Amino acid sequence: MNPAMSDRTERVRAAMAQIWEEHRDQVMERVVFLERAAALLEAGPLEAGVREQAERHAHSLAGTSGTFGFPRATEIARSVERRLPSFDQGDWMTQAIVELRQELELPASIPEVAIGGPQEVATERVLLVVDGDPLMLQSISETAAPRRLRCVTLSTPDEAAAALAADPYPHVAVLGWEPGGRGKKTLQLAARLAGMSPPVPVIVLSEGGAFTDRIEVARLGAQRFLPRSIGPQRVVEEVERLLDPLRFDGMKVLAVDDNPLVLDTVRALLEDQRMTVDTLADPRRFWDVLEEKRPDLVVLDVDMPDVSGVELCLVVRGDPKWVHLPILFLTAHDSPEAIQRVFAAGADDYVAKPIVGPELIARISGRLERVRLYRRLAETDPLTGLANRRRLVEAMDRLTRLSERYDKPLSVGVIDLDHFKAVNDEHGHAAGDAVLVAFARLLAGAFRGEDVVARWGGEEFFVALYGAPRDQAARRVAEVLKQLQGLAFKGSEGSFSASFSAGVAEYPLDGNDLHTLYRAADAALYDAKTAGRARVFTAALDEGSAPASALPPSSPIRVE
Partner 1 sequence: MKKVLVVDDEDHIREIAATSLEVVGGWTVVTAGSGAEALSKAESENPDAILLDVMMPEMDGPSVFKALRNREETRSIPVILLTAKVQAAEREQFSDLGVDAVLAKPFDPMTLHQEVAAALGWG
DSSP, collapsed to helix, strand or coil, labels residue 333 as coil
Write out the binding residues for partner 1, residues 60-79 only, by CB under 8 A.
Answer: 60, 62-68, 71, 74, 78
18 close to 94: Cβ distance less than 8 angstroms: no
Binding status of residue 3 toward partner 1 by CB under 8 A: no
Of residues 124 and 337, the one with the C-beta less far from partner 1: 124
Write out the binding residues for partner 1, residues 463-502 only, by CB under 8 A.
Answer: none
Residues 6+ apart with CB under 8 A from 36: none
DSSP, collapsed to helix, strand or coil, labels residue 311 as helix
Write out the binding residues for partner 1, residues 508-537 only, by CB under 8 A.
Answer: none
Compute the distance between CA of residue 20 and CA of residue 309 in angstroms, rounded to an integer. 56
Q: How far is the CB of 146 from partner 1 (least distance, A)?
A: 29
Region of 111-119, 238-246, 508-516, 544-552 interacting with partner 1 (CB under 8 A):
111-119
Identify the bridge partners of residue 125 per DSSP, sorted by sequence position.
149
Query: Strand order in 546-547's β-sheet?
Result: 452-457, 460-466, 410-417, 500-507, 536-538, 546-547
Region of 23-31, 324-332, 334-342, 483-491 interacting with partner 1 (CB under 8 A):
23-31
Q: How far is the CB of 351 from partner 1 (least distance, A)?
A: 14
| The pairing of beta strand 297-301 with beta strand 252-256 | parallel
Of residues 59 and 252, the one with the C-beta less far from partner 1: 59
Binding status of residue 12 toward partner 1 by CB under 8 A: yes
- The per-type count for the chain, helices as H runs and strands as E runs, is 19, 18
Of residues 34 and 453, the one with the C-beta less far from partner 1: 34
Query: Residue 473 carries which side chain, given as an amino acid letter?
Result: A
Residues composing the chain: 560
Count residues near partner 1 (CB under 8 A): 38
Of residues 16 and 166, the one with the C-beta less far from partner 1: 16
Burial of 248-286, coded b for 16+ CB within 10 Å and e otherwise, reads: beebbbbbbbbeeebbebbbebbeebebbbbbbeebeeb
Among 118, 320, 382, 552, binds partner 1 (CB under 8 A): 118
Among 2, 3, 48, 119, binds partner 1 (CB under 8 A): 119
Binding status of residue 117 toward partner 1 by CB under 8 A: yes
Of residues 71 and 232, the one with the C-beta less far from partner 1: 71
Of residues 26 and 335, the one with the C-beta less far from partner 1: 26
Of residues 257 and 381, the one with the C-beta less far from partner 1: 257
Q: How far is the CB of 115 from partner 1 (least distance, A)?
A: 9
* CA 229 to each of CA 210, 234, 335, 435: distance values in angstroms, whole numbers, following the listed order: 15, 10, 49, 20
Write out the binding residues for partner 1, residues 365-424 only, by CB under 8 A.
Answer: none
- Please, what is the angle between helix 429-446 and helix 470-485, to 10°? 140
Select from 329, 331, 325, 330 the least CA-distant residue to 370.
325
Region of 20-28, 138-146, 242-250, 431-439 interacting with partner 1 (CB under 8 A):
20-28
| Interface mask toward partner 1 for 44-63; x: CB under 8 A | ------------x--xx-xx
**How many C-beta neighbours within 10 Å does residue 531 have?**
15
Of residues 196 and 444, the one with the C-beta less far from partner 1: 196
Of residues 62 and 477, the one with the C-beta less far from partner 1: 62
Q: How far is the CB of 158 from partner 1 (least distance, A)?
A: 29
Residues 6+ apart with CB under 8 A from 372: 247, 251
**How many C-beta neighbours within 10 Å does residue 488 have?**
10
- Backbone φ and ψ for 283, nearest 5 degrees, come out as -60, -20
Of residues 4 and 43, the one with the C-beta less far from partner 1: 4
Among 49, 180, 358, 382, binds partner 1 (CB under 8 A): 358
Among 19, 98, 230, 378, binds partner 1 (CB under 8 A): 19
Compute the distance between CA of residue 300 and CA of residue 255 in angstroms, rounded to an integer. 6
Residues 6+ apart with CB under 8 A from 441: none
Write out the binding residues for partner 1, residues 272-331 only, by CB under 8 A.
Answer: 272
Region of 17-25, 206-214, 417-425, 483-491 interacting with partner 1 (CB under 8 A):
17-25
Write out the binding residues for partner 1, residues 179-208 only, by CB under 8 A.
Answer: 197-198
Region of 116-124, 277-285, 341-349, 466-474 interacting with partner 1 (CB under 8 A):
116-124
Query: Residue 181 carries which side chain, given as an amino acid letter?
Result: G
Q: How far is the CB of 62 from partner 1 (least distance, A)?
A: 5
CA triple 369-174-387, angle to 5 deg: 45
**What residues make contact with partner 1 under the rule CB under 8 A?**
8-9, 11-12, 15-16, 19-20, 22-23, 26-27, 56, 59-60, 62-68, 71, 74, 78, 111, 114, 117-119, 197-198, 272, 354, 356-358, 361
